[in-house]
Structure 1
Protein backbone atom coordinates (compact mmCIF):
# COMPACT_ATOMS: atom_id res chain seq x y z
CA UNK A 1 0.00 0.00 0.00
CA UNK A 2 2.98 2.32 0.42
CA UNK A 3 3.36 2.34 -3.39
CA UNK A 4 -0.21 3.56 -3.72
CA UNK A 5 0.39 6.26 -1.11
CA UNK A 6 3.54 7.35 -2.94
CA UNK A 7 1.64 7.53 -6.24
CA UNK A 8 -1.13 9.57 -4.60
CA UNK A 9 1.51 11.96 -3.24
CA UNK A 10 3.19 12.14 -6.64
CA UNK A 11 -0.05 13.31 -8.21
CA UNK A 12 0.36 16.69 -6.52
CA UNK A 13 4.06 17.03 -7.28
CA UNK A 14 5.32 20.20 -8.96
CA UNK A 15 7.19 17.90 -11.37
CA UNK A 16 5.13 16.99 -14.43
CA UNK A 17 7.18 13.79 -14.78
CA UNK A 18 6.14 12.70 -11.29
CA UNK A 19 2.52 13.53 -12.07
CA UNK A 20 2.72 11.42 -15.25
CA UNK A 21 4.21 8.54 -13.25
CA UNK A 22 1.42 8.92 -10.69
CA UNK A 23 -1.23 8.71 -13.41
CA UNK A 24 0.32 5.53 -14.80
CA UNK A 25 0.61 3.94 -11.36
CA UNK A 26 -2.88 4.95 -10.22
CA UNK A 27 -4.77 3.88 -13.37
CA UNK A 28 -5.24 0.27 -12.16
CA UNK A 29 -7.03 1.65 -9.07
CA UNK A 30 -9.60 3.73 -10.99
CA UNK A 31 -12.46 2.10 -9.13
CA UNK A 32 -11.25 3.34 -5.71
CA UNK A 33 -13.03 6.58 -4.77
CA UNK A 34 -10.03 8.53 -3.44
CA UNK A 35 -7.91 7.45 -6.40
CA UNK A 36 -10.65 8.31 -8.90
CA UNK A 37 -10.75 11.93 -7.75
CA UNK A 38 -6.98 12.22 -8.07
CA UNK A 39 -7.04 10.68 -11.55
CA UNK A 40 -9.66 13.14 -12.77
CA UNK A 41 -7.40 15.92 -11.49
CA UNK A 42 -4.50 14.47 -13.48
CA UNK A 43 -6.66 14.16 -16.58
CA UNK A 44 -7.46 17.86 -16.26
CA UNK A 45 -3.88 18.92 -15.38
CA UNK A 46 -3.60 22.61 -16.22
CA UNK A 47 0.18 22.78 -16.15
CA UNK A 48 1.30 20.09 -18.59
CA UNK A 49 -0.49 18.35 -21.44
CA UNK A 50 1.74 15.26 -21.10
CA UNK A 51 0.05 14.53 -17.79
CA UNK A 52 -3.38 14.70 -19.42
CA UNK A 53 -2.37 12.65 -22.45
CA UNK A 54 -0.52 9.87 -20.65
CA UNK A 55 -3.07 9.52 -17.87
CA UNK A 56 -5.84 9.24 -20.48
CA UNK A 57 -3.84 6.63 -22.36
CA UNK A 58 -3.20 4.61 -19.18
CA UNK A 59 -6.89 4.64 -18.24
CA UNK A 60 -7.97 3.77 -21.79
CA UNK A 61 -5.55 0.83 -21.76
CA UNK A 62 -7.21 -0.37 -18.55
CA UNK A 63 -10.49 -0.33 -20.46
CA UNK A 64 -12.67 -0.95 -17.41
CA UNK A 65 -15.96 0.87 -17.02
CA UNK A 66 -14.51 2.63 -13.95
CA UNK A 67 -11.45 3.83 -15.90
CA UNK A 68 -13.43 5.00 -18.93
CA UNK A 69 -15.93 6.72 -16.62
CA UNK A 70 -13.09 8.91 -15.30
CA UNK A 71 -12.07 9.87 -18.83
CA UNK A 72 -15.72 10.66 -19.59
CA UNK A 73 -15.97 12.90 -16.53
CA UNK A 74 -12.82 14.72 -17.60
CA UNK A 75 -14.07 15.11 -21.18
CA UNK A 76 -17.26 16.71 -19.87
CA UNK A 77 -15.26 19.25 -17.83
CA UNK A 78 -12.36 19.83 -20.23
CA UNK A 79 -11.67 22.97 -22.17
CA UNK A 80 -10.92 22.60 -25.88
CA UNK A 81 -7.18 22.12 -25.42
CA UNK A 82 -7.59 19.55 -22.66
CA UNK A 83 -10.19 17.68 -24.71
CA UNK A 84 -7.74 17.49 -27.62
CA UNK A 85 -5.10 15.91 -25.36
CA UNK A 86 -7.61 13.54 -23.78
CA UNK A 87 -8.58 12.43 -27.28
CA UNK A 88 -4.92 12.02 -28.22
CA UNK A 89 -4.31 9.83 -25.17
CA UNK A 90 -7.32 7.64 -25.97
CA UNK A 91 -6.19 7.43 -29.59
CA UNK A 92 -2.66 6.43 -28.51
CA UNK A 93 -4.15 3.54 -26.52
CA UNK A 94 -6.36 2.43 -29.40
CA UNK A 95 -3.59 2.33 -31.99
CA UNK A 96 -0.84 1.07 -29.68
CA UNK A 97 0.91 -2.22 -30.36
CA UNK A 98 -0.68 -4.02 -27.42
CA UNK A 99 -4.24 -3.23 -28.37
CA UNK A 100 -6.82 -2.15 -25.83
CA UNK A 101 -9.97 -3.60 -24.34
CA UNK A 102 -13.22 -2.68 -26.06
CA UNK A 103 -13.74 0.96 -25.15
CA UNK A 104 -16.96 1.03 -27.14
CA UNK A 105 -18.45 -1.59 -24.79
CA UNK A 106 -17.43 0.45 -21.74
CA UNK A 107 -18.94 3.58 -23.30
CA UNK A 108 -22.13 1.63 -24.00
CA UNK A 109 -22.41 0.70 -20.35
CA UNK A 110 -21.85 4.34 -19.38
CA UNK A 111 -24.66 5.50 -21.69
CA UNK A 112 -27.05 4.70 -18.84
CA UNK A 113 -25.00 6.34 -16.08
CA UNK A 114 -27.00 8.49 -13.68
CA UNK A 115 -24.66 11.48 -14.20
CA UNK A 116 -25.39 13.45 -17.35
CA UNK A 117 -21.75 14.54 -17.62
CA UNK A 118 -20.64 10.90 -17.75
CA UNK A 119 -23.19 10.08 -20.46
CA UNK A 120 -22.07 13.08 -22.51
CA UNK A 121 -18.37 12.30 -22.08
CA UNK A 122 -18.88 8.62 -22.92
CA UNK A 123 -20.69 9.60 -26.13
CA UNK A 124 -17.72 11.77 -27.07
CA UNK A 125 -15.24 8.96 -26.37
CA UNK A 126 -17.38 6.57 -28.41
CA UNK A 127 -17.15 8.99 -31.34
CA UNK A 128 -13.35 8.99 -30.94
CA UNK A 129 -13.28 5.18 -31.06
CA UNK A 130 -15.39 5.26 -34.23
CA UNK A 131 -12.94 7.71 -35.81
CA UNK A 132 -10.01 5.43 -34.98
CA UNK A 133 -11.57 2.27 -36.38
CA UNK A 134 -12.32 3.76 -39.80
Structure 2
Protein backbone atom coordinates (compact mmCIF):
# COMPACT_ATOMS: atom_id res chain seq x y z
CA UNK A 1 0.00 0.00 0.00
CA UNK A 2 2.78 2.45 0.85
CA UNK A 3 4.46 1.82 -2.50
CA UNK A 4 1.24 2.46 -4.42
CA UNK A 5 0.62 5.67 -2.46
CA UNK A 6 4.16 6.91 -3.03
CA UNK A 7 3.94 6.10 -6.72
CA UNK A 8 0.61 7.92 -7.06
CA UNK A 9 1.98 10.96 -5.23
CA UNK A 10 4.87 11.07 -7.68
CA UNK A 11 2.52 10.71 -10.66
CA UNK A 12 0.38 13.59 -9.35
CA UNK A 13 3.32 15.90 -10.10
CA UNK A 14 3.99 14.50 -13.57
CA UNK A 15 3.91 16.72 -16.65
CA UNK A 16 1.94 13.93 -18.33
CA UNK A 17 -1.84 14.42 -18.09
CA UNK A 18 -2.42 10.67 -18.32
CA UNK A 19 -0.16 10.03 -15.33
CA UNK A 20 -1.96 12.75 -13.36
CA UNK A 21 -5.30 11.13 -14.24
CA UNK A 22 -3.95 7.78 -13.02
CA UNK A 23 -2.76 9.48 -9.83
CA UNK A 24 -6.17 11.02 -9.19
CA UNK A 25 -7.85 7.64 -9.51
CA UNK A 26 -5.32 5.95 -7.25
CA UNK A 27 -5.21 8.68 -4.60
CA UNK A 28 -9.01 8.83 -4.23
CA UNK A 29 -8.77 5.85 -1.89
CA UNK A 30 -6.34 7.73 0.38
CA UNK A 31 -8.25 10.91 1.24
CA UNK A 32 -7.49 10.25 4.91
CA UNK A 33 -3.75 10.71 4.23
CA UNK A 34 -2.86 14.42 4.34
CA UNK A 35 -0.31 14.19 1.50
CA UNK A 36 -2.85 12.45 -0.72
CA UNK A 37 -5.58 14.97 0.13
CA UNK A 38 -3.22 17.81 -0.77
CA UNK A 39 -2.28 16.17 -4.07
CA UNK A 40 -5.96 15.51 -4.87
CA UNK A 41 -6.81 19.16 -4.25
CA UNK A 42 -4.19 20.11 -6.82
CA UNK A 43 -5.45 17.54 -9.31
CA UNK A 44 -9.03 18.76 -8.98
CA UNK A 45 -7.85 22.25 -9.92
CA UNK A 46 -5.42 21.09 -12.62
CA UNK A 47 -4.72 23.99 -14.96
CA UNK A 48 -3.10 21.92 -17.68
CA UNK A 49 -5.81 19.43 -18.68
CA UNK A 50 -9.53 19.15 -17.98
CA UNK A 51 -9.36 15.35 -18.12
CA UNK A 52 -7.44 15.41 -14.84
CA UNK A 53 -10.16 17.47 -13.15
CA UNK A 54 -12.95 15.31 -14.57
CA UNK A 55 -11.40 11.93 -13.78
CA UNK A 56 -10.28 12.94 -10.29
CA UNK A 57 -13.78 14.25 -9.53
CA UNK A 58 -15.32 11.02 -10.76
CA UNK A 59 -12.92 8.92 -8.68
CA UNK A 60 -13.67 10.91 -5.52
CA UNK A 61 -17.43 10.69 -6.10
CA UNK A 62 -17.14 6.94 -6.66
CA UNK A 63 -15.40 6.59 -3.29
CA UNK A 64 -18.28 8.62 -1.86
CA UNK A 65 -16.97 9.04 1.67
CA UNK A 66 -17.38 12.20 3.68
CA UNK A 67 -13.65 12.91 3.23
CA UNK A 68 -13.73 12.45 -0.56
CA UNK A 69 -16.85 14.57 -1.10
CA UNK A 70 -15.46 17.19 1.30
CA UNK A 71 -12.38 17.51 -0.94
CA UNK A 72 -14.65 18.06 -3.93
CA UNK A 73 -16.66 20.66 -2.03
CA UNK A 74 -13.52 22.54 -1.00
CA UNK A 75 -12.15 22.47 -4.54
CA UNK A 76 -15.31 24.07 -5.89
CA UNK A 77 -14.54 27.18 -3.83
CA UNK A 78 -11.25 27.63 -5.72
CA UNK A 79 -12.47 26.47 -9.12
CA UNK A 80 -13.03 28.66 -12.14
CA UNK A 81 -16.18 28.10 -14.21
CA UNK A 82 -14.51 25.61 -16.54
CA UNK A 83 -13.07 23.55 -13.70
CA UNK A 84 -16.42 23.53 -11.90
CA UNK A 85 -18.12 22.33 -15.09
CA UNK A 86 -15.65 19.46 -15.43
CA UNK A 87 -16.04 18.59 -11.74
CA UNK A 88 -19.78 18.43 -12.29
CA UNK A 89 -19.30 16.17 -15.30
CA UNK A 90 -17.03 13.88 -13.28
CA UNK A 91 -19.51 13.65 -10.40
CA UNK A 92 -22.39 12.94 -12.77
CA UNK A 93 -20.31 10.29 -14.55
CA UNK A 94 -19.88 8.56 -11.20
CA UNK A 95 -23.62 8.61 -10.53
CA UNK A 96 -24.74 6.86 -13.72
CA UNK A 97 -24.39 3.29 -14.84
CA UNK A 98 -24.60 -0.09 -13.19
CA UNK A 99 -21.64 0.58 -10.88
CA UNK A 100 -22.82 4.02 -9.80
CA UNK A 101 -21.34 5.84 -6.84
CA UNK A 102 -22.61 5.76 -3.29
CA UNK A 103 -25.19 8.31 -2.25
CA UNK A 104 -23.29 11.53 -2.82
CA UNK A 105 -26.46 13.53 -2.10
CA UNK A 106 -26.65 12.05 1.40
CA UNK A 107 -23.01 12.95 2.10
CA UNK A 108 -23.63 16.49 0.81
CA UNK A 109 -26.53 16.75 3.24
CA UNK A 110 -24.17 15.89 6.07
CA UNK A 111 -21.57 18.36 4.82
CA UNK A 112 -24.16 21.14 4.68
CA UNK A 113 -23.66 21.39 8.44
CA UNK A 114 -19.86 21.70 8.19
CA UNK A 115 -18.61 24.78 10.05
CA UNK A 116 -16.32 25.72 7.16
CA UNK A 117 -18.23 27.98 4.74
CA UNK A 118 -16.42 26.72 1.64
CA UNK A 119 -17.38 23.13 2.50
CA UNK A 120 -21.07 23.69 3.06
CA UNK A 121 -21.31 25.99 0.02
CA UNK A 122 -19.49 23.46 -2.17
CA UNK A 123 -21.67 20.65 -0.84
CA UNK A 124 -24.76 22.67 -1.76
CA UNK A 125 -23.37 23.09 -5.29
CA UNK A 126 -22.73 19.35 -5.63
CA UNK A 127 -26.20 18.63 -4.27
CA UNK A 128 -27.67 20.85 -6.99
CA UNK A 129 -25.83 18.76 -9.59
CA UNK A 130 -27.38 15.57 -8.27
CA UNK A 131 -30.81 17.22 -8.01
CA UNK A 132 -30.75 16.05 -4.40
CA UNK A 133 -31.94 12.57 -5.27
CA UNK A 134 -29.91 9.42 -4.58
CA UNK A 135 -28.63 7.79 -7.74
CA UNK A 136 -30.14 10.47 -9.99
CA UNK A 137 -27.94 12.68 -12.15
Question: Contact 2:114–2:120 at 8 Å: present in 1 too?
Answer: yes
Residue aligning to 2:68: 67
Aligned to 2:126: 125
1:102 corresponding residue in structure 2: 103
- The runs of at least 4 aligned residues of structure 1 exceeding 6 Å deviation read none
**Which shifted more, 67-76 or 28-37?**
28-37
- SS state of the match for residue 100, structure 1? coil
TM-score scaled by length of structure 2: 0.94
Confirm or deny that 1:85 pairs with 2:86.
yes
Q: Is the 8 A contact 2:8 2:27 kept in 1?
A: yes
Contact map agreement 2:64 2:102 (CA 8 A) in 1? yes
For residues 103 and 33 of structure 2, what CA distance do their matches in structure 1 show?
21
**Pairs aligned (count):** 134
TM-score of the superposition, structure 1-length normalised?
Answer: 0.96
Deviation at 1:108, TM superposition (A): 1.0
Unpaired segments ≥5 residues, structure 2? none
Is residue 113 of structure 2 the alignment partner of residue 112 of structure 1? Answer: yes
Give the whole-Å Cα distance in 1 for the aligned partners of 2:58 and 2:73: 13
Kindly report the root-mean-square deviation, in angstroms, between the aligned alpha carbons of the 2 structures: 1.3
CA deviation after TM superposition for structure 1 residue 114, in Å: 1.8
Deviation at 1:30, TM superposition (A): 1.0
